[in-house]
Amino acid sequence: MIALSLSEIATAIDGVLRLHGADTPDSVVSGVVDTDSRNMAPGGIFVAKPGETTDGHLFVGKAVEAGAVLAIVERPVDDAVTQIVVADVLQAIAALAREVVARVRAGGRLRIVGITGSNGKTTTKNMLATILRPEGETVAPVGSYNNAVGAPLTMLRVTYDTRFLVSEFGADASGQIARLAGLVSPDIGVVLMVGMAHAGGFGGIEATVKAKSELVAAVRPGGVAVLNADDPRVAGMSAIAEERGVAVRWFGESESADVRASALRVSAEGTDGTVTVVGRDLPLHLRVLGAHHVKNALAAIAAAAELGVAPDVAVERIGTVELAERWRMQVMGSDRVRIINDAYNASPDSMTAALRTLAQITGPDERMVAVLGAMSELGEHAHEEHAKVGLLAVRLRIPRIVVVGQEARSLYLAAVAEGSWNDEAVFFPDADAAYEYLRDELRDGDRVLVKSSNSAGLRFLGDRLGELFS
* Annotated binding-site residue numbers for ATP: 117-123
Cβ–Cβ under 8 Å, residues 189 and 220: no
Spatial distance between the Cα atoms of 130 and 298, rounded to a whole number of angstroms: 14
SS3 content of the chain, % helix, strand, coil (to 5): 40, 25, 40
Report phi then psi at 60, rounded to 5: -60, -40
Spatial distance between the Cα atoms of 305 and 314, rounded to a whole number of angstroms: 8
Residues 6 or more apart whose Cβ sits within 8 Å of residue 60: 37, 46, 48, 68, 71, 73, 77, 79, 81
Cβ–Cβ under 8 Å, residues 408 and 376: no
Cβ–Cβ under 8 Å, residues 279 and 257: no
Residues 6 or more apart whose Cβ sits within 8 Å of residue 223: 186, 187, 188, 189, 246, 247
Report phi then psi at 91, rounded to 5: -65, -30
Secondary structure element (H or E) that encloses residue 446, with its range: strand 446-451
Helix, strand, or coil (residue 319): coil
Alpha-carbon distance values, 128 to 45, 167, 299, 318, 408 (Å): 29, 11, 9, 8, 34
Spatial distance between the Cα atoms of 152 and 192, rounded to a whole number of angstroms: 21
3-state SS of 346-373 is CCHHHHHHHHHHHHHHCCCCCEEEEEEC
Residues 6 or more apart whose Cβ sits within 8 Å of residue 168: 114, 115, 116, 121, 122, 125, 140, 141, 144, 145, 146, 151, 154
Cβ–Cβ under 8 Å, residues 127 and 303: no
Neighbouring-strand partners of residue 333: 338
Spatial distance between the Cα atoms of 406 and 423, rounded to a whole number of angstroms: 18
Spatial distance between the Cα atoms of 353 and 359, rounded to a whole number of angstroms: 10
Spatial distance between the Cα atoms of 448 and 372, rounded to a whole number of angstroms: 10
